[in-house]
Chains A and B, each alone.
Chain A
Amino acid sequence: MRVNFTVNGRPQEADDVWEGESLLYVLRERMGLPGSKNACEQGECGSCTVRLDGLPVCACLVAAGQVEGRDVVTVEGLADFAKQRAEHGGCGPSGSAGTDGTSDPTGSATCGTSLQGAQRWQAKGTDSQTGEGGDLSPIQQAFIDAGAVQCGFCTPGLLVTADEMLERNPSPSDADIREALSGNLCRCTGYEKILDAVRLAAARQSEEV
C-alpha cells in the first residue's frame, strides 16, 4: 500500500508498504530516519518514541497505515521543532498543565502543540548526512552537557518524551520528571544524569522567559 504523511514538516510518501509494517519500520527502513530506535518493538522501552499529531507514542506500536494524513516528529526533527516552538511563543507556565498528564488530541489543550499547529509546521533544511547544519534544541544540548548520554540507544526516545513534557510542564518537580519518563528504559546511566539533563533544560528554559 501507499502511505502519505508528514514527517518533520515535510510531506512524505511511502510505497510498497506491507500492511503489517509499523511506523517505526517505515521511518527507519523506508524513509532513512533511523534515529527512532528499535530496542524492543513491544512498546515496553520507549526507544522509538515519536510525536504523532503532537502526542508522544511508541512508533513500534503504530501500524504504518494508521499515520495516513497525519503528522510525525522524530528525534531528527526535534531541533527544528523546538526552534519553531520558541519562535512562535513557547508554552508559558499555566495552572492546569503539567501534573495531570492529559492532553487533548484535538488541539484544545492549553499547552502543547495543537494538531493544526503541527500540520502547519515546516522543517528548515539541515544537512542530515553530517549532523551539522541545525542547532540543537535545549533538551538535546542539556543531555550532552549533563552527561546523560552513554551508549545513546535510549537517548532519542527520551529526548522526544522529555521535550514534550517540558512543553506541558516547564517547571517539573523530580516526581513529575520520573513519572513522565517512566516509559523510557535506559540500561547505562542509572537515570541520575538524565534527571540532571531535564532539570538543566528546564532551568535554562526558565532563564530565557
Chain B
Amino acid sequence: MATTGTPTDITQGSRTRGGIGESTLRPDGTLKVTGEFAYSSDMWHEDMLWGHTLRSTVAHAEIRSIDTAEALATPGVYAVLTYDDLPTDVKRYGLEFQDTPVLAHGKVRHHGEPVAIVAADHPETARRAAAKIRIDYADLPVVTDEASATAEGAPLVHEHRDDHHADHVSHPNIVHRQPIVRGDAAGAAERADVIVSGEYVFGMQDQAFLGPESGLAVPGEDGGVDLYVATQWLHSDLRQIAPVLGLPEDKVRMTLSGVGGAFGGREDLSMQIHACLLALRTGKPVKIVYNRFESFFGHVHRHPAKLWYEHGATRDGKLTHMKCRIVLDGGAYASASPAVVGNASSLSVGPYVVEDVDIEALALYTNNPPCGAMRGFGAVQACFAYEAQMDKLAAELGMDPVEFRRLNAMEQGTLLPTGQRVDSPAPVAELLRRVKARPMPPERQWLAAGEAADVRALPGGLSNTTHGEGVVRGVGYAVGIKNVGFSEGFDDYSTARVRMEVINGEPVATVHTAMAEVGQGGVTVHAQIARTELGVAQVTIQPADTRVGSAGSTSASRQTYVTGGAVKNTCEHVREKVLEMGRVKFGTYHPAWATAELLLESGKVVTDGGEVLADLVDVLEGESVDLELEWRHRPTQAFDLRTGQGNGHVQYSFAAHRAVVEVDTELGLVKVVELAVAQDVGKALNPLSVLGQIQGGTTQGLGVAVMEEILVDPKTAKVRNPSFTDYLIPTILDTPTIPVDVLELADEHAPYGLRGIGEAPTLSSTPAVLAAIRNATGLELNRTPVRPEHLTGT
C-alpha cells in the first residue's frame, strides 16, 4: 500500500511506546522465572565430557614432579593435561600483563592455582581421577604484605618481569605505582588549624556472584572450537584464548550463555582455555562447572588494602591539604591491578575540593590469592578511608559531619588532583542534603504497642539474644565519587549492528552487540534505545557473540553509556538511510521531506511538529537497512607516571548514603535498620532497573561493612573460608529497607545525558554503615568488615 503523500493524520505526541525513560520489563524475564533461561552451567551436549581442574594445595612451592599415570588409567577418563601438553609457545595470559600460566609450570604462586585438568564421562569420575594426580611440591617462603614483599632478599613472585610497568617500579614485587602530586601539601599543612591522620584496613571482598564459573566447549569439524561461556567481555577472552590454542580468532567462536552475576569477577579468564584444551584434545564437547568452593579460587577478589591518610582543615571548616598512601594487595598475578592503582590514586581525595595533595597508590605482588576487578575498582577502598577522615575532622572541629562535607564538596568545574576539570554536574552537596533531610526510621521498632518484643527487628534476630537491652542506635553519612568507563587513554569503544526491515507487515529492528548481559539490564535498554531512535515497537535482541565487533567490558559502569551509545549511534545512521529511502520514494509529495528534522515515531516518518509523512512499512517495502558501526566516547589520557597529571577519566558518578544501625553492645551484633541513598544518574533510561542497580550496589557495600571477608592465613597464604558457610553475604534478614532518591542532572557529553550508575552506590554504602556503628558505639573502628569482637573488645 503506497502512501498518498498528502498528510492524512496529524498525530500529537506519538512518541513510540517502550522507549527510553520507561520502566519496560526485561526481555529475558519470562525465561528466567520459568527456569528455562540457559545459564552457562545449564549447557548440555550429547556425548559430552566433564572437565575438572586440579589446584595447588599450597601457596608458594616449586613443582618437582607431576605424575598423571594413575589418573589417566582411571576408567571413564579421556584426558589429563598439564603444562607439558599445551599446544603452542603461548602458555600465559592476562588482562594487562601476560603473567598468568594456563597451567602451573615450575612453581605455583598462590593457593588454588590450576596445575592439571581432567576430562571424564562423569563429574565425580573427573574429580576422583584428579585426586590421583601426584604432585611433589617443595615449599617456598611466602610474601604476604608490603613488609615481606619488599624486604631485603624477599622471594620474587615473578623473577622475570617483561611487562610495561617493570622498568618504573622500585621493586619487582610492586606491580604498579602511581603518585599524584599537585600544589604544595607540606606548605598548605602549615595553614591547618587541625590535622587528623589515620591508618585504615580494608578486607578482601569476593564478588560472590551466584552463578559459578562454567561453560561448554564444543570442538568444530574445521579444527576450531565453539565456546559457550559466562563472561564480562567476549572479545577480551577471545584475545587471550586463541593464541594459547594456536588458532586464529575466527576459529574460536564464542557465544555468551546466561550469566549469573559478575561484579568484576568474570573479567579474568577462569575455565575458558581449560575447556577448549580438553575439547580439542578429546574431540568431544567438554563442560566445566566449578562448585562454590572452587569458585572462590576460580576468580580474583577485591584488593585488600592498607591506607594511610592525613588531612588538614582550618577552624572554619575548609580542607587545607591531603596526604595519603594506599597499598593494595594484588596477590600472585597482576589481573587488573595496574588500572585499580590508577583509580585508587586519582579518586583518593573523594568528591572534595583539595588543591594541595601528595598521593601514592601501589599494588603488590604477593603469594595471596590474585585480586583484580570488583564493583568500585579501587575507589571503594579509598572512599572507606577518606570518609572516615571527614568524620574525624568534623568531630575535631565540633562541626556536623554533613555540614563539613558540604562545605568542601566538589562542584562542576572543580579540578581533580590529576588536574582534570569536572565538566558535568557534580551535585555532591545536594545528594548529602537529600539523604539528611529524609525522615528517620522510627525508634525501637521491635516494640509494637502492648506486645512482646518482635526479636526479628533486633540485632541477632531469631537467635533471641536481646529484647532491646544493650541496644543503641547510630546514624552515619558518606558520599563518594566513581569514574565511569575505562580510563588512562584506553581505547574504550563499542560496536553495534542494527538491522531494520519489515516482518509480517510490521517494521522491526534487530540489535546485535557483543555486550555481556550479566543481569544489569543492558538488553532491556538496547531495545528501548532502538524504539526511541527508530520508532518501532518490535525490537529483537540477538544473542551476544563474537560474530559482531567488540562491545568492551560489562564493567566500570560503562555499558549503558558505551554500548548504549553505540546502539544509539548505529540507529541514528540507520534512520538517516531510511529517511533517504523515503526521500527517494516520496520526497516529491511533501516539502517537509527536504527538511533535516524528521523523526521515526510509532512506525511512521514524522516531522518534528508531528505531521505524518509516510509509513515505515511503505518506505522499507521489501528492503532492509543493516549497519555495523563502532562508537567511542571522548578520548582520555594516561596519568603522568611521576606527577599523576592527565585527563584520565571520561565521566563521574556520585552517590550519598545515610545509614541507621542498631548495635547490641553486649554481643557486638549489628542490625542495619535503614540505608538511604541519593544518586545522580544523569538520565534514568529505565527507572526500575536504576533502582535495582542502586539497591544491589548498596547491599554489596553493606556486606563488606559487617560480614564479608576472605580470610587468608598470614603464615601459609592459604584461604581459610572458601564457602558460603564461612564467607557470608547479606541475606534478606541482614538487608534493611533501601529508600532511593534519584537525581537526573544531564551530562551533556553522554548519550541522553546519562551517567553510568552501577558502582557509585557500592562506594559510600560501606563508610556510611561504619560511621553509623562508630556513632552508636563511640569506637574508632578503622577496619572493615567490622566483626562482633571489634565491638565488644573481646
Contact = CB atoms under 8 A, between A and B. Distances in A.
A79 interface: yes
A189 B693 CA distance: 7
Given A147-B689, A188-B692, A38 B34 contact: no
B158 to A, nearest CB: 33
B589 interface: no
A187 B209 contact: yes
A130 B686 CA distance: 27
Contacts of B259: 151
B456 interface: yes
Given A44-B724, A151-B209, A192-B695, A178 B456 contact: yes
Nearest to A181: B732
A151 B210 contact: yes
A61 interface: no
Nearest to B50: A29
Interface stretch (B391-399, B507-515, B696-704, B781-789): B696-704
Nearest to A18: B124
**Residue in A76, A185, A188, A194 whose Cβ sees the most chain B Cβ within 10 Å:** A188
Interface residues of A, number: 62
A151 B518 contact: yes
A193 B724 CA distance: 23
How many B residues touch the partner, as a band? 35 or more
A169 interface: no
Interface in B698-754: 698-700, 723-725, 729, 731-733, 735, 737-738
B263 A187 contact: yes
B529 interface: no
Interface string A135-160: 01000110111010111111110010
Contact of A140 (B33, B521, B725, B735): B33
B345 interface: no
Given A136-B34, A182-B733, A151 B260 contact: yes
A102 interface: no
A36 interface: yes
A44 B260 contact: no
Contacts of B379: none
A28 B723 CA distance: 22
A200 interface: no
A193 B732 contact: no
Interface stretch (B36-44, B193-201, B624-632, B770-778): B36-44
Nearest to B733: A182
B376 interface: no
B518 A191 contact: no
Contacts of A113: none
A184 B261 contact: no
A193 B260 contact: no
Nearest to B723: A42
Given A74-B35, A75-B35, A190 B211 contact: no
Nearest to B695: A190
Nearest to B207: A187
A39 B210 contact: yes
Interface in A36-69: 36-42, 44-45, 47
Nearest to A157: B210
Interface in B190-247: 207-212
Nearest to B36: A131
B35 A36 contact: yes
Contact of B212 (A28, A29, A38, A175): A38
Contacts of B518: 151
Given A151-B211, A193-B691, A193-B695, A37 B39 contact: yes
Given A44-B724, A179-B733, A191-B699, A38 B36 contact: no
Interface string B426-467: 000000000000000000000000000010110000100000
A34 interface: yes
B212 A191 contact: no
Contacts of A76: 34-36
Contacts of B454: 175
A32 B731 CA distance: 30
Given A149-B26, A190-B696, A131 B733 contact: no
A42 B39 contact: no
Contacts of A18: 122, 124
B292 interface: yes
Contacts of B66: none
Interface in B267-312: 289, 291-292
Secondary structure call for the A interface: loop
A188 B261 contact: yes
B210 A47 contact: yes
B28 interface: yes
A95 interface: no
B211 A44 contact: no
A39 B212 contact: yes
Given A40-B724, A187-B700, A178 B29 contact: no
Contact of A190 (B28, B258, B261, B698): B698
A186 interface: yes
Contact of B692 (A37, A144, A189): A189
A188 B30 contact: no
A91 interface: no
Contacts of B35: 33-36, 74-76, 156
A3 interface: no
B210 A153 contact: yes
A195 interface: yes
A157 to B, nearest CB: 9
A42 B456 contact: no
A151 B519 contact: yes
B131 interface: no
B211 A182 contact: no
A193 B692 contact: yes
A41 B519 contact: no
Contacts of B262: 151
B23 interface: yes
Contacts of B688: 147, 193
B31 interface: yes
B550 to A, nearest CB: 22
A181 B731 CA distance: 8
A153 B260 contact: yes
B520 interface: yes
A20 B733 contact: no
A177 B737 CA distance: 13
A187 B34 contact: no
A187 to B, nearest CB: 5
B2 interface: no
B642 interface: no
Contacts of B292: 39-42, 44-45
Contacts of B23: 147
A191 B25 contact: no
Contacts of A178: 456, 732-733
Contacts of A182: 731-733
Nearest to B42: A34
Interface string A1-43: 0000000000000000010110000001100111111111110
Q: What 10 A-B pairs have minimum CB-CB distances, sorted nearest first?
A: A35-B35, A151-B519, A190-B695, A153-B260, A152-B32, A44-B724, A34-B42, A190-B699, A75-B35, A150-B519
Interface of B: 23, 25-26, 28-39, 41-42, 44, 122, 124, 207-212, 258-263, 289, 291-292, 454, 456-457, 462, 518-521, 688-689, 691-692, 695-700, 723-725, 729, 731-733, 735, 737-738
11 contacts: A29-B44, A32-B44, A35-B34, A39-B210, A147-B689, A149-B29, A149-B33, A178-B733, A186-B210, A187-B696, A188-B261
Given A21-B124, A144-B26, A189-B692, 9 more contacts: A38-B289, A41-B292, A42-B724, A136-B33, A150-B521, A184-B732, A187-B209, A190-B696, A190-B698
